[in-house]
Structure 1
Amino acid sequence: MKVATGSVIGSSLLAGCLGDNGAGDYPPSTMTFVNAYSEGGGVDTNMREIQPYLEEELDTNFDIEYRDGAGTRVAANTVAQEPELHSIGGTLSPATPAAVAIDEYEGDELEFTLDDIRPVGTISEEAAVIRVREDEDRFTTIEELVEYGEDNPGELTVGSSGPTNRNVLSVIQLMEETDAEFQIVPYDGGGPTETALLQEEIDVAARSVYNSADVNDETLCLTIYAEENPEPDLTDDAPPVNDALGTDIDYDPSNGIQFYFVSADAADEYPDRFDTVVDALEAAMQNDEYIEDLEEIGEEDKVFHNGPDETEEILENAYETYVEFAPMFDEYVQ
């Protein structure tokens, strides 16, 4: 009995010591994935694709919560305040760094800073695109869209995840480089934006290559914000915007990178837990079955993995860029 008791005590002490670093009984049987956008959008799609492999690596199940709104601030703040590292957030850069930059520019009280969240890693990368309905007859090329926007200033509505999303910026860049004038209509995620386009609530949708692949058959892609079009089949072989219009738009600020993150305080309190999540994400993204799943739908090229340090650098660069662009959002998005 004493031996057994001693073993129990020893095990308890060991678990306690490991618990200080976050090992022991981790992860829990259920974790929460906090999506900064609405159901059906790009973050949701990517999570659904990798979810079984991430769950396998962590030996857990994920409940998905949609905390869309306020330019990703709700989700970021929700995860930042979770103390046990039982929640993982999914969002976009530059959207989340942009939220901090915009709040600072406008003098608002910061709901969170980049120091409050800890990147786990990136999951995908994709370029911005401009889409219209397949039956749209007023313009079927980016040149015709711009011409219409010049001849009818403010008439056309362009929907996007917003109000400070990179896709919004892509529309602002287009207006800055041409004489076209559009009315920007922000939505809480890609799903609602696409629904609004198909239901004719808006004329144009500013989206991304893979995030809008689900409406490829019902829409026409007019242009892509990239030096070359990596996915002609998913984008109607749309031309790069600078090639089509002779503009000089910088593509990098509108290039979207999805990343996962946790509470910085929880990561500091439980470093072993953080390492467990980091390793699990990397392993899941390297899973052969996951890659095969993406190959079957022609989206394997979107995979873009960086570890925590590299991702943190990406976020810092995005923040600095959006400090520069903040006045434009104030001017163009009402």
Structure 2
Amino acid sequence: MKRRFVTSALAAGFALAPFVRRAQAQPKFSDVTVPGTIEAIVAYAAGGGTDILVRTALPFMEAAIEELTGRRPNTVVRNIPGAGGEVGWVAMSRARPDGSTIGVINLPAIALVEAARKPAFAPWTEKLVPIGVNVIDPNILVANDRAPGRSIRGAIEKARSDPGSITVGADGPLSDDHLAVYALEAATGAKFTFIPYSGGAPAQRAFLSKEVELMMGNVSDYVNVKGSAVDSMIFWESRYDLVPEVQTTNEALGRDLGMFGSTRGWAGPAGIPPRLLELYREAFAIAMAKPAYKEEAVRRQLTLVEPRVGDAFGEIMRQNQQSVQDLLQLFKAGGYLE
């Protein structure tokens, strides 16, 4: 009897062993102190694209932080609109670097605001540290049947031989669309008449009514005008999943003009403790990979790309800053910057 008891006890012990090991396992970042409440700053009003991005992602980031630390923080969205994003980004850059404040920065808007006004968040690439990005809305140039040769190439040739003869409508001024127009001019030698509109929707209407021959917008704009477009090209490194029919600049013109678009990435104030910053970056990567997040993001029409985390997003930040600096003279010549 005693022998059977010992055998049974041993069997029970072996059966319990995996559960004991799991109970003893510590989360990867159990040593990191996470603020009880994390405030996520949105530098624009509630209801816009950036606000939707943040509110979609935060529950998944909360869960990822809990998975990595064993503790789930509360997250709060704080909308701080004003001056084209400047007010919110100043607040983010001046926040205590204890991890209690993070947020989203919009590129190239933040670089253009810095070039225009020298705000308190300058230099932004030093005052803010990258967490990650997975929402980029690439620029797309479209032509209607008023364009010479019914093509983008024909419009470029005309704008090169007769500067100012071709009109380009876009959101602007000082927008990602505006920057992409200047990048196209610098690369091709063409000179367009740039007509800024107060948002993507008015620019779409101008294109559809043929007030302009070309429109520079984003993937989200293209979806609304593609029925009237006779030609299009995307400022991206390869065909884009959401609009696979749109050729790249390399395919359309035989040259790679670089990657341009509206980028919305997560960042925080410089000085966040390295281990805490590492936690936020890993939590971002985990959250953005969740199928449930991707389904919700697509449902809300967010333009997802493969996540760039930490230094990979930092490189995108530096590239945007360099693009703005390279094209600064064109903004000044156009009277948009002093």
Query: Shorter-chain TM-score: what band?
Result: 0.5 to 0.7
**2:134 matches 1:123:** yes
SS in 1 for 2:243: coil
Q: CA deviation at 1:277?
A: 3.0
Q: CA deviation at 1:65?
A: 1.1
Gaps in structure 2 of 5+ consecutive residues: 1-30, 66-71
Write the distance in 2 (CA, Å) between the matches of 1:50 and 1:292: 11
8 Å CA contact retained: 2:183, 2:327: no
**2:29 matches 1:23:** no
Aligned pairs (5 A) from 1:144-159: 145-146=155-156, 153=164, 156-159=167-170
**2:202 matches 1:196:** yes
- Partner of residue 306 from structure 1, selected from 305, 308, 330: 308
Aligned pairs (5 A) from 1:281-300: 281-293=284-296
Write the distance in 2 (CA, Å) between the matches of 1:276 and 1:227: 30
Write the distance in 2 (CA, Å) between the matches of 1:205 and 1:62: 37
Write the distance in 1 (CA, Å) between the matches of 2:109 and 2:221: 17
Write the distance in 2 (CA, Å) between the matches of 1:48 and 1:109: 27
Structure 1 counterpart of 2:89, which letter?
A: A
Task: Report the structure number with the largest CA radius of gyration.
Answer: 2
CA RMSD of aligned residues (A): 3.9
SS in 1 for 2:95: coil
Write the distance in 2 (CA, Å) between the matches of 1:289 and 1:162: 37
8 Å CA contact retained: 2:134, 2:305: yes
Identity %, equivalent residues: 15
Aligned length: 288
8 Å CA contact retained: 2:139, 2:235: yes
Change (3 A) 1:216 1:91: farther
8 Å CA contact retained: 1:97, 1:319: yes
Aligned to 2:23: none
TM-score by length of 2: 0.67
Aligned to 1:318: 320
Higher relative contact order (CA 8 A, sep 6+): 1
Gaps in structure 1 of 5+ consecutive residues: 1-20, 188-192
Structure 1 counterpart of 2:236, which letter?
A: A
Aligned pairs (5 A) from 1:85-104: 85-97=99-111, 99-100=113-114, 102=115
Structure 2 counterpart of 1:35, which letter?
A: A
Change (3 A) 1:288 1:326: same
**2:93 matches 1:80:** yes
Change (3 A) 1:218 1:27: farther
Change (3 A) 1:222 1:32: same
Aligned to 2:269: 263
Write the distance in 1 (CA, Å) between the matches of 2:82 and 2:33: 31
- Partner of residue 221 from structure 2, selected from 176, 198, 212: 212
Q: CA deviation at 1:181?
A: 1.7
Q: CA deviation at 1:272?
A: 5.6
**2:252 matches 1:244:** yes
Aligned to 1:181: 192
